[in-house]
Amino acid sequence: MKLTRQEELIILVASEIAAKQGARVSLAEISSVHGISNPYLKKITRMLKIAGIVSSKEGSGGGYVLTKPAESITVLDLLKSAGMTHDGPDLELAGKRVCPLQPDCLPQRIRQRIETTFLTYCGNITLDQLIKKGNT
């Protein structure tokens, strides 16, 4: 499976915020470390805010924090916040495409199995596991 750039950045931004353990993180900090433009980071954090994963405060001393503990946020939650999967905008439809020629074709079954396994795995990885040092 290959994540889109947007999905990768959602995971990266959420991980950077989680790593600060409750301290507010500015987009300027993330931008300077990773070389991502502020407008694109605003787009990413907006998706995280809409999903209820982060909250923000503007002005001096402002920035972003997680709305819940990192151990309760999964990679799947982050992918959902992007509103995307590899099949399109609905995670519930992932792995349920229908072959136009044969509903139960072998490539279809293989794709469904891989997709289901990937999404299950992402649902078992939490944000705190991603940011722990020495974690593989």
Tokens found for residue 113: 């199995």
Residue with tokens 């909250």: 55
Q: How far apart are CA 114 and CA 1, in angstroms?
A: 8
The pLDDT, as a whole number, for residue 112 is 82
| Digit-coded pLDDT (tens) for 49-84 | 999 999 999 888 889 999 999 999 999 999 999 875
* Whether this model's pTM surpasses 0.85: no
DSSP state of 64: E
Domain architecture of the chain: domains with CATH: 5-131 (1.10.10.10)
Q: In terms of residues, how long is the chain?
A: 136
State the CB neighbour count (10 A cutoff) for residue 73.
23
| Highest-pLDDT range among 75-79, 87-91, 115-119 | 75-79
| Digit-coded pLDDT (tens) for 3-46 | 889 999 999 999 999 999 889 999 999 999 999 999 999 999 99
Q: Are 114 and 108 spatial neighbours (Cβ–Cβ below 8 Å)? A: no
Where b means 16+ CB within 10 Å and e means fewer, 19-57 reads beeeeebebebbeeeeebeeeebeebbebbeebebbebe
Q: How far apart are CA 72 and CA 125, in angstroms?
A: 10
The pLDDT, as a whole number, for residue 45 is 95
The pLDDT, as a whole number, for residue 121 is 92
